[in-house]
Amino acid sequence: MDRAYEGDETRHLAETLGYVPVVPPNPNRLDPWDYDRERYGRRNEIERLFQRLKAYRRVFTRYDKLDALYTGFLLFALRAYP
């Protein structure tokens, strides 16, 4: 979930399915909820990691058919960014 999907219906659906939403409430909300800031920060790190990997088209299109070559290029792509 992201802040754009922080509506009551979406939060309720996520909780019903067993997920723990870590989206901060919209600042304009009259009844804001508490959220785990540390968990939200970790979620952001993971999203940024996938954005970095998307820069390498080869990773997401899976040009390499052998697992060893794919894993090697994946490790290369992960080390290319600080």
> Per residue in 50-74, pLDDT tens?
888 777 777 777 777 788 888 888 8
pLDDT reported for residue 80: 66
Q: Residue 21: how many CB atoms within 10 A of its CB?
A: 19
Token digits of residue 62: 């899976």
pLDDT reported for residue 1: 62
Q: Is the pTM higher than 0.75?
A: no
50 and 44 Cβ atoms separated by less than 8 Å: no
